[in-house]
Structure 1
Amino acid sequence: MDGSAGSATTGSKIAEPTGAEPKGALAGIRVIDMSRVFAAPVGAQILGDLGADVIKIERPGVGDDGRGYGFSWVPGKDGIETRHSSFFTVSNRNKRSLTLNHSKPEGQEVIRRLVETADVLIENYKVGDLKRFGLDYESLKAINPRLIYCSVTGYGQSGPMAALPGYDGLFQAIGGMMAVTGIPEGQPGAGPLKTGPSLVDFVTGHNTALAIMGALMYRERTGEGQFIDIALLDSSVAMVSHIMQDYLISGTAPPRLGNGGNGGGPADLIYCSDGIIYLTAGTDEHYRRLTVLMEQPELNTDPRFDSNFKRGKTNRAELMDIINTWSRQFTADEVQAKLDGAGIPAARYNELADVWNDPQVQHRNLRATTPHAFAESGTVDLIQSPLAQMSASPATIRMAPPMLGEHNDEVLRELGYDDAAIAALKDAKVV
């Protein structure tokens, strides 16, 4: 399909075009996004949010596999099938879609023309797969020595597992995340647990964008492009963070703590008469204030709880029982007000629907209602970029995720193809 889905808002209401949009930090940077599904597309989207021109290369007639992932799809108007699944919609805004069969010489030629104009190429094919088509880094570097070529794979470019496919859940298992996530031993349902969202994919996407921005800075100084090898495995190990560092220091694996904090204590869910709150009274002072608030100041010097280690680890369950006995006397609003008034960190537990009613979420305009020319409602609600509060060059949502091949003619004309040449590519099923 050809056409534009329009410009978007940065808040919960549709903004009128002003002609004075802030200039993105990456304005003028062109990105070729040859990636699929989630991790690498998230990285490309971040670059797009920051102002880059991201051209998404998709298979003709099929598109990104991620278009079929998830539980919900954006309804299309007039019977149009948008193929905008939740997976695709959350990771492909601010991109233009070009369908292209890169297995054909004519398709490879289109990519080479794009590379001449591009700053960055992102791909997540199996190791060495694109070399068969002359689209590997060394081949494209000969066309554009300034090109930054980022390859995102499961296990990296070398090593005994490099050829294996990789998906988020595999790396939550192999990298240690599941080992420290789940219900504590000895309790019903104990054992490792995968996180709900695809966190390894999401963090890998951010690492992808971060590495590319670093490479752009390096190129600014030296004029040189480079190859970037990003692996989900590397991200999965790194994101276990301070818990993994505990193991490296002590040689002992910390236990799974369920909803308990893994820093200071007490930190856990507390139950009120009508809701749940997460409490983090992890410093000595916060704990002292909590004992005063509960009208049990003797707990501050109780030998069972007189150190952070005892409160957070050895006697954690006993202390949480005492706190829950207190909190169940009040509503969640009452407990939250008491904790806020005492300066003790706490937050109400929200179901997904509750998140969007949270006053601070609304104040931060985290629900971005975006024009979508092909959606039944004419708009689609997206999740605002966490980078939207930069004072001079904020991340913005300028385009809804594209329809498959929406920008074929537009991009090809930019590359110098005339109407006859475009028609020939379509007849040959190259685009």
Structure 2
Amino acid sequence: MSALSHLRVLDLSRVLAGPWATQQLADMGATVIKIEKPDGGDDTRGWGPPFLKDRDGQPTRESAYYLCANRGKQSVAIDMASPEGQAQLHELVKSCDVVVENFKVGGLKKYGLDYATLSAIKPDLVYCSITGFGQQGPRADQAGYDFMIQGLGGLMSITGEQHGEPQKVGVAVTDLFTGMYATVAILAALAHRDRTGIGQHIDLALFDCQLAMLANVASNYLVGGVNPPRYGNAHANIVPYQAFPASDGHVIVAVGNDGQFARFAELCGHAEWASDARFATNKARVENRTALVPLIEAALIQQPRAHWIAGMESAGIPGGPINTIPEALAEPQAVARGSVVDIPHPLGSVRMVANPIKFSRTPIRYDAPPPMLGEHTQHILARD
């Protein structure tokens, strides 16, 4: 039995933050009913190429983007703008534990699908709203998208090379983090409901989650009062903790304490660095990074990546290569952990990155692919 096989979720969300949260719940065994527009369905179905290929190798209309966040769900095509669709959804919610939506603030009220309406139908309902800026505040009525939130929320100001332009992260991290916060919040609200019999409304904002993601960098500012700069691949609070050029490419060095630094200095052929007052402690190394980093660069450029990676592994110094995506997914560790799964699909099969959670008693199963548009409409509506 799966961990959440008792749970039923009505998924009204679109794009990535909401679907990412409901995929986590689906992975853990919840029945997730994904409500889609009859005409076209989820917008992300068209966010390609690439598109899934069928058994004959021909592209289909199922985009890789849509596939990545919708496995294990059941697709029901309903026009929520119609009285009939609204009645069907009101009936569905009676048998659901959770509703997840990411419409603009107040956007579902005209359809009778807002928290006030649905909680009157089912008082113990857990209702999670994901918006750009939350349910109140001067920006509450604005739409929010990952890219703009990365900029507005400060993340881009600390991402990129020190003297280059601000950069967004290569994946939609604000959406993904918000989805994960939503999953945690939903499970906590369900625990509260199970104790008290009372549901509640969860108000999650991409902007709030982005600020929380700043973690130690925000803390550096709040404690130190200095606007954090961009460090490229370096770390604000640890040195050396960055990528360095070897003779044939780049290698990551992630020294985490003074003992590791002493071993790293010896590996570089400069054991004296560890006794140099400028470099002996992490505090000193951070203060003198502009003196130390060129010395490390001069040492590492003398040998290829494999030399340094093998040496760091032998000495217990964190570090490694900078893999491409194909290299990362083919890493022996990824293979050993089953990090890529092949799931049967009505059109053939689809390869996906596995959920990283490993349960000892309720392992995650990969027997339900991302659904075709409206695939489960008749089954779900007939049941309810």
| TM class, shorter-length | over 0.9
Shift in CA distance, 145/81, structure 1 to aligned 2, threshold 3 Å: farther
Give how far 1:70 is off. 4.4
In 2, distance between residues paired with 1:54 and 1:177? 32
Of residues 295-304 and 349-358 in structure 1, the stretch that sits farther from structure 2 once superposed is 295-304
Partner of 1:401: 370
Structure 1 residues 192-211: aligned runs within 5 Å: 192-211=166-185
* Partner in structure 2 of residue 294 of structure 1: 268
In the TM superposition, what whole-angstrom CA distance separates every residue of 1:156-191 from its partner, at most 9, and x where no partner exists? Answer: 011111111110011111111112111113xxxx23
Give the Cα–Cα distance (whole angstroms) in 1 for the partners of residues 228 and 192 of structure 2: 39
Aligned amino acid, residue 326 of structure 1: A
Structure 1 distance, partners of 2:30, 2:109, is: 26
Find the partner of 2:21 among 43, 64, 74. 43
Secondary structure of the structure 2 residue equivalent to 1:98: strand
Partner of 1:3: none
Note if 1:351 corresponds to 2:328. Answer: no
Q: Say yes or no: does 1:340 pair with 2:313.
A: yes
| Aligned match of 1:53 | 31
CA contact (8 A) 1:154 1:165 kept: yes
Q: Which of 298, 302, 305 does residue 329 from structure 1 map onto? A: 302
Indicate the residue corresponding to 1:385 in structure 2. Answer: 355
Question: AA paired with 1:384?
Answer: A
Cα distance in 1 between the residues matched to 2:228 and 2:105: 35
1:260 touches 1:268 (CA, 8 Å); kept in 2? yes
Deviation by residue 1:381-430 (Cα, 9 ceiling, x = unmatched): 1010011x111123332311111111111111111xxxxxxxxxxxxxxx
One-letter amino acid matched to 1:398? D
The residue matched to 1:292 in structure 2 has which SS?
Answer: helix
TM-score calculated relative to the size of structure 1: 0.86
Q: 2:342 matched to 1:372?
A: no
Matched, 1:142 2:111: no
For 2:232 and 2:184, the matched residues in 1 are separated by 31
SS in 2 for 1:182: coil
Name the CA distance, whole Å, in 2 between partners of 1:24 and 1:167: 33
Q: Does 1:171 align with 2:145?
A: no
Q: Tell me which of 273, 277, 290 is aligned to 2:251.
A: 277
CA contact 1:263–1:282 (8 Å) conserved in 2? no
Q: In 2, Cα distance between the equivalents of 1:201 and 1:380? A: 23
Which of residues 282, 292, 297 in structure 2 aligns to 1:319?
292
Matched with 1:429 is none
Structure 1 unaligned regions, length at least 5: 1-22, 416-431
Q: Select 1:224's aligned residue among 198, 205, 209.
A: 198
Q: RCO greater where, 1 or 2, for CA within 8 Å and sep 6 or more?
A: 1
Question: TM-score scaled to structure 2, two decimals?
Answer: 0.96
The 1-side partners of 2:278 and 2:299 are apart by 18
Cα offset, 1:119, TM superposition: 0.4
Find out whether 1:191 has 2:165 as its counterpart.
Answer: yes
SS of residue matched to 2:209: helix
Q: Which moved more, 1:406-415 or 1:162-171?
A: 406-415
Task: For residue 296 of structure 1, report the CA deviation from its aligned partner.
Answer: 0.9
2:221 aligned to 247, 252, 255, which one? 247
Q: Could you say which residue in structure 2 is the equivalent of 1:72?
A: 50
Counterpart amino acid of residue 271 in structure 2: P
Query: 2-side partners of 1:209 and 1:35: how far apart?
Result: 13
The counterpart of 2:2, out of the listed 8, 15, 24, is 24
Q: Deviations over 1:183-224 (max 9, x none)?
A: 113xxxx23211110000000000111100001100110011
CA RMSD across the alignment: 1.6
Contact kept? 1:32, 1:54, Cα under 8 Å: yes
The aligned amino acid for 1:232 is L
**What is the deviation of 1:307?**
3.1
Structure 2, unaligned runs of 5 or more: none
Rounded Cα–Cα distance in structure 2 between residues aligned with 1:166 and 1:398: 34
CA distance in 2, matches of 1:281, 1:304: 16
Q: 1:265, 1:283 within 8 Å by CA — same for their partners in 2? A: no
Q: Work out the CA distance in 2 between the residues paired with 1:279 and 1:54.
A: 42
Answering whether residue 62 of structure 2 is matched by residue 84 of structure 1, we say yes
The question of whether the paired residues in 1 share the 8 Å contact of 2:72 and 2:368 is answered with: yes
